[in-house]
Structure formats: structure tokens, C-alpha cells
């Protein structure tokens, strides 16, 4: 016979409402009561029906993760971080990939919020940076948290997790300059992502702060992909006066650039230093391993979800959180080789 919430309440000697409060991880329940209910749950092997709970309750217990990002490692890190926070607070996770460029994206997201009875949405770039999407969600009073690139909380309203990509780009470029590089190229990611703009700004700031000049011929547009890194590096390597170092907008681009450079017979980092951004598994799967910028995506997703759940439960707390990425020095960067 299936164990019910009534059985748990009777075994623990508490009310059904108390069991519900414990399983929903609501605040202000005494620890002794929590322990008593959890002991009853364990003894009876009680499995709450989360879907039924969501339908029966006046409050939703489902968080939606909306993404359009070609980087599988980024998506997995975000998913794991959100799921960890959901598990800690008794929430479920609904994952919804979408096409941010679709003409119907606003209708798609608002319809999903209405029909899935979501407690809130975790929005990642580029959706978190799209004013049309945000306006559509605001129109239906949707609860959401944005993960975006930036450094100034005064520029943003609502729940926001900022990643200071500009700082990370300044630091990784400064690392190359400190090694003695004065001729540095930049391989860009998709310009629809604010992170691309922030990382390019940081690159330019570091170059100019050291009284050096940005060679615009060495700043190439691209995509957040391995293939884009290969294409961009091949263009730079083919130039008569090529840079001695490359800053790639993420690790996937950097891995592609490293691949292209090695195929061209260049020794990395003796002939060419290459650095990335994000500290994804790409940075540790190349040879040599990539110098990069550590971006704690799992933690970023956890914090974003915690802010969202706190707001949903009217528990107050912070509205903003800022993460500052910093360099991780590995084997793909060294002083420039002088003949």
C-alpha cells in the first residue's frame, strides 16, 4: 500500500500541514519538528508526489530554465547549479531550450509561464538581455532572474546576477602584457551577447591603459564556437605582421585557435600565446592546457535560483549579486619568443 502524507503525519505525531511545511522547506519550522518529520519520512519511505503538490498548492514549486546557447558546457553548468538550488528548497526544474531569434519567442515564453504555473524563470543570455522578452514577461507579472554581463547594479531593475566580464578581460589581457606581449589580437564571440561587448571593452581598456595601441586588423568578429576560433586564428596567422598573442572571447574559440595554430606548425606558447575565457572543460582538454578566466557558472546559477525562490516565497534578501572572474594561468601563455 502506498504511503501517504496522512501516514507520515500520524507517525510523526504532527498535523498534515506541518508535514507539508517541512517537505516544502518553508521557514520558521522548528528544527526538532523537521527532524521528527524527516525521521517519519525515512522510516515509511514516503515519496512526495511533487507534480500533485504543484497542482494542489496555491503556490508553484517549479523553476524554469530558459536558454539559447550553443556551448553545451555552459548549459550543463547552469542546469546543475539551478537543480542544486531547487533540490535544496524543494522545487522542481523545467528546462526549456528555445531560439532567441524566433519572431514568436515572446509568445512562446509567456505561454509557457502561464500553462506550466512556474514559480519563476532563470534567464540566461541572450534572452536575459533582450528588452522585448523582458517587457513581455513584465506584462504578465512573471517572476524572473537575469544572468547578464555587467558591473553596475544601478543600471538594472529586478533580480539580477551580474558577471563582470570586463574585469576578467582586463586581467587576462594584462597577464599577456606583463609577460611582454605588445602585439595582441582578439577573437570575438556573437555580438548579440553582452558578454562579447564587455570582454572586448576590457581587452581595449587593458591595451590602452598600458599606452599600447589596439590594431583593429587583429580584432576579428566571430561566433562562440570552435570553428570560429579556427577561422579567426587562420586569418591572424596568415597576416604578414601577426600578433604574438591572442585573447579569445571564450575557451571554445581559444581551443579552435590553438588547433589552427598547431596545424600551421606554430609552437604554443613559444611562437604564439593563446588565452580563453570561462574556464570550461575546453580549457583543460587542449594541449597545452589553456590559460583562461575562471567563471563559476554552477555557483552563478545557484545564487540566481536562490534569489528567485526567495522572492517567490516573499522572504526578501538580496536583489543583486556580482561575480568577478579572475585569470587561471596554465600552459598556453608565455613571454614572446624573440629571434
Of 319 and 160, the one with more pLDDT: 160
State the Cα–Cα distance between residues 22 and 335, nearest whole angstrom.
58
- The beta-strand segments (E) located in the chain are 62-67, 92-97, 120-123, 144-149, 159-163, 184-187, 219-220, 245-248, 273-275, 292-294, 320-323, 326-328
Residue 44: is it exposed, middle or buried by C-beta count within 10 angstroms (0-12/13-18/19+)?
A: middle
What average pLDDT does range 199-208 have in this prediction? Answer: 97
| Torsional class of 40: left (φ above 0), alpha (ψ -120 to 50), beta (otherwise) | alpha
pLDDT band at 50 (very low <50, low <70, confident <90, very high): low
Lowest mean pLDDT among 55-64, 77-86, 135-144, 180-189: 55-64
Joined grid coordinates for residue 83: 537543480
Considering the chain, what is the average pLDDT of its residues?
88
Q: What is the pLDDT of residues 264-308, one digit of tens each?
A: 999 999 999 999 999 998 899 999 999 999 999 999 999 999 999
What average pLDDT does range 1-28 have in this prediction? Answer: 73
Of 146 and 48, the one with more pLDDT: 146
Output the pTM of the full model. Answer: 0.80
pLDDT band at 155 (very low <50, low <70, confident <90, very high): low
**What does the pLDDT read at residue 58?**
47
Of 132 and 151, the one with more pLDDT: 132
State the Cα–Cα distance between residues 150 and 5, nearest whole angstrom.
46
Of 161 and 59, the one with more pLDDT: 161
Q: What is the pLDDT of residues 179-203, one digit of tens each?
A: 999 999 999 998 888 999 999 999 9
State the Cα–Cα distance between residues 194 and 309, nearest whole angstrom.
25
**What does the pLDDT read at residue 55?**
43
- Write down all domains in the chain, each with its CATH number in brackets: 5-48 (1.10.260.40), 62-163+296-324 (3.40.50.2300), 165-293 (3.40.50.2300)
Q: What is the pLDDT of residues 102-121, one digit of tens each?
A: 889 999 888 888 877 788 99
pLDDT band at 318 (very low <50, low <70, confident <90, very high): confident
Amino acid at each position: 500500500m502506498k504511503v501517504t502524507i496522512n501516514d507520515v503525519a500520524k507517525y510523526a505525531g504532527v498535523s498534515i500541514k506541518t508535514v507539508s511545511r517541512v517537505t516544502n522547506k518553508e521557514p520558521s519550522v522548528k528544527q526538532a519538528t523537521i527532524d521528527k518529520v524527516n525521521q517519519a519520512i525515512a522510516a515509511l519511505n514516503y515519496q512526495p508526489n511533487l507534480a500533485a503538490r504543484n497542482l494542489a498548492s496555491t503556490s508553484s514549486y517549479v523553476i524554469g530554465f530558459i536558454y539559447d546557447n550553443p556551448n553545451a558546457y555552459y548549459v550543463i553548468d547552469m542546469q546543475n547549479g539551478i537543480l542544486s538550488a531547487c533540490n535544496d528548497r524543494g522545487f522542481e526544474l523545467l528546462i526549456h531550450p528555445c531560439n532567441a531569434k524566433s519572431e514568436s519567442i515572446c509568445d512562446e515564453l509567456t505561454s509557457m509561464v502561464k500553462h506550466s504555473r512556474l514559480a519563476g524563470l532563470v534567464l540566461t543570455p541572450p534572452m536575459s538581455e533582450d528588452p522585448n522578452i523582458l517587457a513581455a514577461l513584465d506584462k504578465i507579472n512573471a517572476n524572473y532572474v537575469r544572468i547578464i554581463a555587467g558591473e553596475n547594479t544601478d543600471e538594472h531593475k529586478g533580480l539580477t546576477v551580474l558577471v563582470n566580464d570586463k574585469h576578467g578581460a582586463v586581467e587576462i589581457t594584462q597577464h599577456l602584457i606583463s609577460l611582454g606581449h605588445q602585439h595582441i589580437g582578439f577573437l570575438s564571440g556573437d555580438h548579440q551577447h553582452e558578454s562579447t561587448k564587455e570582454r572586448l571593452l576590457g581587452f581595449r581598456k587593458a591595451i590602452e591603459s598600458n599606452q599600447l595601441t589596439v590594431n583593429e586588423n587583429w580584432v576579428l568578429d566571430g561566433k562562440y564556437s570552435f570553428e570560429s576560433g579556427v577561422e579567426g586564428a587562420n586569418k591572424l596567422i596568415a597576416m604578414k605582421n601577426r600578433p604574438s598573442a591572442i585573447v579569445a572571447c571564450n575557451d571554445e574559440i581559444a581551443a579552435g585557435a590553438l588547433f589552427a595554430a598547431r596545424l600551421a606548425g606554430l609552437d604554443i606558447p613559444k611562437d604564439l600565446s593563446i588565452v580563453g575565457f570561462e574556464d570550461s572543460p575546453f580549457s583543460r582538454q587542449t594541449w597545452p592546457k589553456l590559460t583562461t578566466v575562471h567563471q563559476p557558472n554552477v555557483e552563478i546559477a545557484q545564487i540566481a535560483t536562490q534569489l528567485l525562490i526567495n522572492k517567490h516565497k516573499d522572504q526578501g534578501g538580496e536583489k543583486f549579486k556580482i561575480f568577478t572572474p579572475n585569470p587561471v594561468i596554465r600552459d598556453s601563455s608565455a613571454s614572446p619568443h624573440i629571434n
